[in-house]
A and B are shown apart, each in its own frame.
Chain A
Amino acid sequence: GEDVEQSLFLSVREGDSSVINCTYTDSSSTYLYWYKQEPGAGLQLLTYIFSNMDMKQDQRLTVLLNKKDKHLSLRIADTQTGDSAIYFCAESIRGGSQGNLIFGKGTKLSVKP
Chain B
Amino acid sequence: DSGVTQTPKHLITATGQRVTLRCSPRSGDLSVYWYQQSLDQGLQFLIQYYNGEERAKGNILERFSAQQFPDLHSELNLSSLELGDSALYFCASSVEGRSLHFGNGTRLTVT
Which A positions have Cβ atoms within 8 angstroms of B? Answer: 33, 35, 40-45, 48, 88, 90, 93, 96-106
Contact A41 B48 (CB under 8 A): no
On whether A101 and B56 interact (CB within 8 A), knowing A42-B2, A45-B101, the answer reads: no
Contact A99 B33 (CB under 8 A): yes
Contact B90 A98 (CB under 8 A): no
Chain B interface residue count: which class? 20 to 34
Show 19 A/B contacts (Cβ-Cβ < 8 Å), sorted by A: A33-B99, A35-B102, A42-B102, A42-B105, A43-B92, A44-B102, A45-B99, A48-B99, A93-B58, A98-B94, A98-B99, A99-B31, A99-B33, A99-B48, A99-B92, A99-B100, A100-B33, A100-B58, A102-B45
List A contacts of B55 (CB < 8 A).
Answer: 97
Contact B102 A43 (CB under 8 A): yes
On whether A98 and B98 interact (CB within 8 A), knowing A44-B2, A93-B45, A103-B43, the answer reads: yes
List B contacts of A93 (CB < 8 A).
Answer: 45, 58
Scoring B residues 12 to 54 as 1 if CB is less than 8 Å from chain A, else 0, what string do you get? 0000000000000000000101000000001101001000000
List B contacts of A106 (CB < 8 A).
Answer: 42-43
Which B positions have Cβ atoms within 8 angstroms of A? Answer: 2, 4, 31, 33, 42-43, 45, 48, 55-56, 58, 90, 92, 94, 96-105
Bound-complex Cα distance A97 to B96 (A): 8
